[in-house]
Each structure stands twice: as C-alpha cells, then as structure tokens.
A and B are shown apart, each in its own frame.
Chain A
Amino acid sequence: MKKKDIIIGLLIIFIITSLSGYLLAQVYKVTKPKIEQQKKDEGQKLYKEIFPEGVEFTEEKEYIAVYDDEKKLLGRIYHIVQAGYGGPIVIKAGFDTEGKVKGVRILEHSETPGLGAKITEKSFLNQFAGKSGKKLYLKKYDKEGTIDAITGATISSKAVSDGVIKIQEKIKAEGKINETD
C-alpha cells in the first residue's frame, strides 16, 4: 500500500467521523433534556407509588428523604440488593418515621417467570404495608410473621421479606425512628 493511500484513507475516515460526531452532538443536544426529564419522572413516579403522601423526594447519601408540602419529614425510602432464587433482587422500600413499612417495590430481579417472578405483583408486596417488627417475617419462618409466601416460591418471597427486615434493623440501629413508638 502506498503512503498516499494511507493518508487519503485516514483523511476520509477523519471527515466521516467528524461529520457523524457533529450529527450526534446535535441529536444529543435535542434529546438530553428529554432523557433527563424522563429519568426524573420515572423516579418520582416510583417514589410516589411507594410513598403516596410524599410530595418532595430528595436524595440523601443512603436513602431518599420524603417530605410533605410543608417540608415535614414523612419517612425514608431505602434501596437494598438481596440474593434471591435466581440472582440478586433490587428492592426499594419506604419506611415512615415510626419505622412502619409504607410500600415496597422491586426494581430488578431474575426470578423464575411464573413463580418467583410473582414477587413483583402488588398482591404480594402490599402485604408489607403498615407493618413493622416481627410481622414482616414470613408466616412459615416465624410464629409472629404475617406475610404469606408465594406458592412454590418460598425462597424468593423470603428474600424480599429478609431485605425489608434488614433495612428495618438498620434504621433501628441508626436511631432514625421517633421515640413515640
């Protein structure tokens, strides 16, 4: 190959790359605000689902603080990754200031479809709402437990309940619960 060919080739690649770079930059400029807005909306929607009373959600170091419209702290939303049956389960759980569960949502999981995957269903997750202490255990594992496991998917159910309990214990340990309880 001649030197000239190489230089011409490099030049052409350079031109094409620059052109496409410019094009992409323009596209990026247009779409970036949209994408960010989408991300924010999505997060807000999820937090709202977990904590319907909340109005403002601010991200703190370890959790998301939930305030009402008078800037009063209502509770916190925690994020936890718990080992499930088929892999890690990413859980977001909201607790009010008294340490009671407000809501639980599953962000990611790889449980068996039709079986463990049922942990994302509201009928299972809503069982946690309003509960605290030993009530968060599965019925199978603790006498005081009140959570019904999904039929045939005890391990997945237990992973969710374990995750929620872990956060609860953490909150307790850090003293983020009002003494009124």
Chain B
Amino acid sequence: MKELTCSPHIHSSETTAKIMWSVVIALLPATLASIYFFGLDALRVIIVCIISCYIGEVVSHFVFNRKLKSFDGSEVVTGLLLAFVLPPSIPLWMAGIGGFLAIFLVKELFGGIGFNIFNPALAARSILTVSFPLEMTQFTAPLSYRVDAITTATPLGIIKEGIGGQLPSLWQMFIGNRPGCLGETSILLLVIGAIFLLCRKIITWHIPVSYILTVVVITSIAGQNPIFHILAGGLVLGAFFMATDYVTSPITPKGKIIFGIGCGIITSLIRLKGSYPEGVAYSVIFMNMFVPLIDRYTLPKKFGAIKK
C-alpha cells in the first residue's frame, strides 16, 4: 500500500536551504568589500571559519549520533557571520576554534539547527573575546595590507579611550573605509544585502528598525551623534543579520519589536557607559536569553478570542 500523506498536498517552494543560501547571497557584497579593504587576510579568515564550522558539524554527528543532514548552507551562514565579527588580523587557528565552537558548543550541544538558544556566531565571538582579548581587539587599518599592516583603533575605540587616531569621516565609515571587524565596516554593502533579504521576505523590518531606532534615540539623548553610532561598529551588521537570526529571536512581530528595543538599549548602554567600546554582540546574546519569555507573553490573540 502506498504511504498516505496528510493535507496540504501542495507546498510552497521555500525551503530551509533556500533561506540559508539567500542569506549567504545577501552577505556576498559585504564579503567582497572586506576582501577589498583587508586583503587576503579577510579571505583566509572567512575560509577557515566556514571549514571549521563544517568540521564542528561532522564531529557532532559522530559524538551525538545525529543524522548528518543535507547540505543546507546553515554552516556557511554561521561561518560567514562569525568571520564577519572577527578582526581581520586574527590568527587563523583562533578563527578555527571559533568556528568549531560555534557549531559544536553553541548549536549542536543544544540540539542542532532550530534548538540553539544563542546566536552561534556571536556566542563564538564572545568566547574568543574573553579567551584571547588581545588578538580580538587588534584591528588593522583598511587598505594597509598594500603597504604593511598597521594596527589602529576602531572609531568606537577612539571615542571610548578618548585619545589617539583620527576619526574617519562619516562617508568613509559609510563605504567601509575604516578599521573594524572584517565584515561590519561597509555599511553601504550590508544595507544592500539587507534590502535583498527584506525583499525576499526572509527578514522583517521589526527587529532592525526597532533596534537601530532605539540606539539613535538613546545616543541622541546622551548628546552624541546618532549617525556616527549607526555607522561605527557592528550595529548594522548586528541589527540586520545577527539579531534577526530566526532561531534565536522571537517569533511574533510584537516580540520582535520588544527584542529589538532591548538590544538597542543594551548596546547603547554598553557603548556609552560600559567598559567595552562595542556592545552589539553582547546585547544580542543577552537578549537571546529572553526570547522564550518574550514569546510567552507576546502570543497573538487567537481568532475569535472572547474579549474580557
């Protein structure tokens, strides 16, 4: 007898793999920009991250007896995003450890795709930041690979420490000609990728808009230039690509807005009052923990719910 399937008998053509590869496509422009600004260093870090993510997947397949799933591109996304939040000059073995931990520790240990609590890329970055603080805070100046690599402070670092180095102009920061993590610098190309995702309806406006707006409001109140705060640091990368990660963000539109506002508040607080110059990674990870709670209290009201 034939195996019967339940209704519906037609399905949309969207698949997990398609979504993942779309994210990869959306990240491509910024990837190219990072290679342009930081040279082969950037390319090497990206390749190492992606490969180590795969290694993590294969190892967890053996350790947890898990079915090795088909090539759905989620490791490429994680690897790419991890590479994007690492400094270009990071030793490759560190990037490798990061990629492996992102998949093995942060994702597979919690049950694999769909079950992780924290954003794998950002959690791995945080592990690397506390483990190797020196290497994780050394940033090379953009385009300096053509002569010889110079270490310099990021715009946010300059503001935080109050000394040394000249702030890049807003335009330079917009196109990405500034020191910083590998993929976070080119706001222009990140936004192009983000628009692609918005048009593909893979991400919604809720989290990025509420996130960035909150940062704008708080930094303006604090008397700082909000445009500077958008362009400097990883806010755009975080708001469009990290905080919107399906698995680790709330599922309802209302919850997404709350999540974005929470991220924005924590990011601004860390930037303005905290000891780190940048707070996107920690704020997203922090808010990740609240996702089940937010989900619980932002359930949509069911159709025909009796009004009390």
Counting chain B CB atoms within 10 Å of each CB, the highest count among A85, A140, A152 belongs to: A152
Residues of A within 8 A of B172 (CB): none
Partner of B275, one of A86, A113, A140: A86
Partner of A152, one of B133, B163, B275: B133
Binding site for B on A (CB under 8 A): 85-86, 112-115, 140-141, 151-152, 154-155
CA distance A20 to B138 in the complex (A): 58
**Pairwise interchain contact A152-B137, C-beta atoms closer than 8 A:** yes
Residues of B within 8 A of A155 (CB): 161, 275
Residues of B within 8 A of A154 (CB): 161, 163
**Pairwise interchain contact B133-A115, C-beta atoms closer than 8 A:** yes
Residues of B within 8 A of A115 (CB): 133-134, 137
The chain A residue sitting closest to B277, CB to CB, is A155
> Is the CB of B115 closer than 8 A to any CB of chain A?
no
CA distance A113 to B134 in the complex (A): 10
Q: 19 A-B pairs, CB-CB below 8 angstroms?
A: A85-B275, A86-B275, A112-B130, A114-B133, A114-B134, A115-B133, A115-B134, A115-B137, A140-B164, A141-B163, A151-B134, A151-B138, A152-B134, A152-B137, A152-B138, A154-B161, A154-B163, A155-B161, A155-B275
Contact with A along B19-54 (1 / 0, CB 8 A): 000000000000000000000000000000000000
**Pairwise interchain contact A114-B132, C-beta atoms closer than 8 A:** yes
The chain B residue sitting closest to A138, CB to CB, is B163
Q: Which 4 A-B pairs have the closest CB atoms?
A: A115-B133, A152-B134, A152-B137, A85-B275
Question: Interface residues of B, CB < 8 Å — how many?
Answer: 10
Residues of A within 8 A of B138 (CB): 151-152
Residues of B within 8 A of A151 (CB): 134, 138
Residues of A within 8 A of B275 (CB): 85-86, 155
CA distance A154 to B151 in the complex (A): 14
The chain A residue sitting closest to B134, CB to CB, is A152
Contacts beyond the supplied A86-B275, A112-B133, A154-B161: 7 A-B pairs with Cβ under 8 Å: A114-B132, A114-B134, A115-B133, A115-B137, A152-B137, A154-B163, A155-B275
CA distance A151 to B132 in the complex (A): 13
**Closest-CB distance, A9 to chain B (whole angstroms):** 45
Q: Within residues 91 to 141 of chain B, which ones have a CB less than 8 A from any CB in chain A?
A: 130, 132-134, 137-138
Residues of A within 8 A of B132 (CB): 114
Residues of B within 8 A of A86 (CB): 275
Residues of A within 8 A of B133 (CB): 112-115, 152
CA distance A141 to B161 in the complex (A): 10
CA distance A85 to B138 in the complex (A): 17
**Closest-CB distance, B180 to chain A (whole angstroms):** 15
CA distance A154 to B65 in the complex (A): 47
Residues of A within 8 A of B137 (CB): 115, 152
The chain B residue sitting closest to A158, CB to CB, is B161
CA distance A62 to B161 in the complex (A): 32
Residues of B within 8 A of A113 (CB): 133
Contact with A along B158-200 (1 / 0, CB 8 A): 0001011000000000000000000000000000000000000
Residues of A within 8 A of B130 (CB): 112
CA distance A114 to B131 in the complex (A): 8
**Pairwise interchain contact A140-B134, C-beta atoms closer than 8 A:** no
Residues of A within 8 A of B164 (CB): 140
Residues of B within 8 A of A112 (CB): 130, 133
